[in-house]
Amino acid sequence: MPFKPCAVSDTDCLRPTRILKSDVFRFAALFAFLFLAFTGILLGTVLWIVQETQRAALMSANDADIATVANGFLDEGIPEAVEVVKQRLGSPALSRPLRPDFYMAIENEQGQQLAGNLPQLPRTIGIFTTRFGQSVILGRGVEVTKGVYLFVGRDTAQLTATRARILRAFFWVVLGAIVIAVVGGLFLGVRFMRRIDAIAATCKGIIAGRWDERIPLLGREDEWDRLAGAINEMLNRISALLENLRQVSSDVAHDLRTPLTRMRNRLEEARAKSTSISEYSAAVDTAIDDTDQLLAMFSALLRISQVEAGARLSSFSLVSLTDVLENIYQMYQPVAEDYQHSLISNCQKDISIRGDAELLTQMFSNLVENAIRHTPEHTRIQIVLKSDGKLVTASIIDDGPGIGSSEHEKVLRRFYRVSSSRSAAGHGLGLALVAAIAQLHHAKLTLSNANPGLRVDTTLRSDWQR
């Protein structure tokens, strides 16, 4: 089924409540919140470092000016200190421009300002902040000598401007992060909803009985494709099991009808025509034989069902496949001679796999027995076992008439029998059991023409672990 994501105008797919409630949108919002939180911490750290750096630079300049004034005082006393203040501030008389962001004031012990561009200040010693007009001034107050007070400060407008630029940049970062989070959350939410809707639509189709529907793959090999692939494999398996169940139900009904009808006819004939105890006994014996055939059929079906359900997985252990096939060879060699066949064993030594020894014996016994029973006299039958690295291949090969290529897959189904074998005893469940055991062991079962004859290869992995 082609993938048809819902269109942008599809109100059900793009309904805001669905998207806002989706895990993808919630995760996007969570990551956006965490991003903003860490960005806020980073901003606070950067702002503090920048402000402290600028404040330190400003105070370093103030302290340099204080040292210059103090040196002037040490050289020539108060007049020189006052002169230095005037020079640092600049004046038209000295052909130097006034510096509006630079403030100094020097006062005598009576509080009279000897020079400066500030009004009278409180005699605060140390670093402090004061206001002058619209300016906020950061500076230091010191005593040049007893009674002589000096203040040097600079406007903090640059600090304020830097802080404003940082905060403005943070605002745009936050705004961009919010927009990206919302847009990204909506985009991812829509994609998430589309994939979920595709899976839900397929599941609803399966519920409605459309077993051929599968979840579309986009070919990206992402987690969605892996999930869809796993679900599709599960659906294929379920579909195969249901088809097998329908086939079994049909085949059981069909195959049971004949022996039951035959048994009923014989019993009716015995009731109508039998006149002695021996005739009644013969009729009862025949009915018992028919019943035994039915019980054998149900036992085989039950065994196949148990194998397919994996009921024997717990008994898996390391099994010598060489010993299994050698034992089968020894067991069936006299039987092959009775049928005037030639049974040959060519098994590589010391080959082991993980599996169920009893089931493996049953599987290869069925294959050898089929080759013996369904081929003419003087047929050559081979049991071959070889290993190629991690792959182990066990083959049963005969040079009989074989079967048509179109029937290679069919003979593995329950109750299926080729036309040449319909007159022989059996109920068509032997190869079905072989296929079930092979599947339980994750083995590949392949039927091919041996030219002449039939070749059955069972390929297993020696390193397979259940």
Q: What is the DSSP string of 207-225?
A: HTT-TT------SS-SHHH
pLDDT tens digits, one per residue of 55-106:
899 999 889 988 988 888 888 888 888 888 888 887 544 434 455 678 888 8
The arithmetic mean of pLDDT across residues 330-352, rounded, is: 92
CATH number of 313-461: 3.30.565.10
Q: Is the pLDDT of residue 282 over 50?
A: yes
Q: What are the boundaries of each domain within the chain? A: 1-211, 223-307, 313-461
The arithmetic mean of pLDDT across residues 333-343, rounded, is: 92
Q: Which two tokens stand for residue 171?
A: 């605002």
pLDDT tens digits, one per residue of 160-192:
888 888 888 888 888 888 888 777 777 777 777
Q: At what angle do helices 357-373 and 321-338 cross, to 10 degrees?
A: 30
The answer to whether the beta carbons of residues 94 and 142 sit under 8 Å apart is: no
The answer to whether the beta carbons of residues 116 and 148 sit under 8 Å apart is: no
**CA pair distance 314, 276, nearest whole angstrom:** 54
CATH number of 223-307: 1.10.287
pLDDT number for residue 196: 79
pLDDT number for residue 99: 58
Diameter of the chain measured on Cα atoms: 159
Which of 62-76, 197-211, 331-345 is predicted least confidently?
197-211
Same fold, 223-307 and 313-461: no
**Could you tell me the pLDDT band of residue 2, with boundaries at 50, 70 and 90?**
very low
Q: Which two tokens stand for residue 398?
A: 């005969």
pLDDT tens digits, one per residue of 364-405:
999 999 899 888 999 999 999 998 878 999 999 999 888 888
pLDDT number for residue 250: 67
pLDDT number for residue 308: 67
Instruction: State percent of the chain over pLDDT 90.
Output: 17
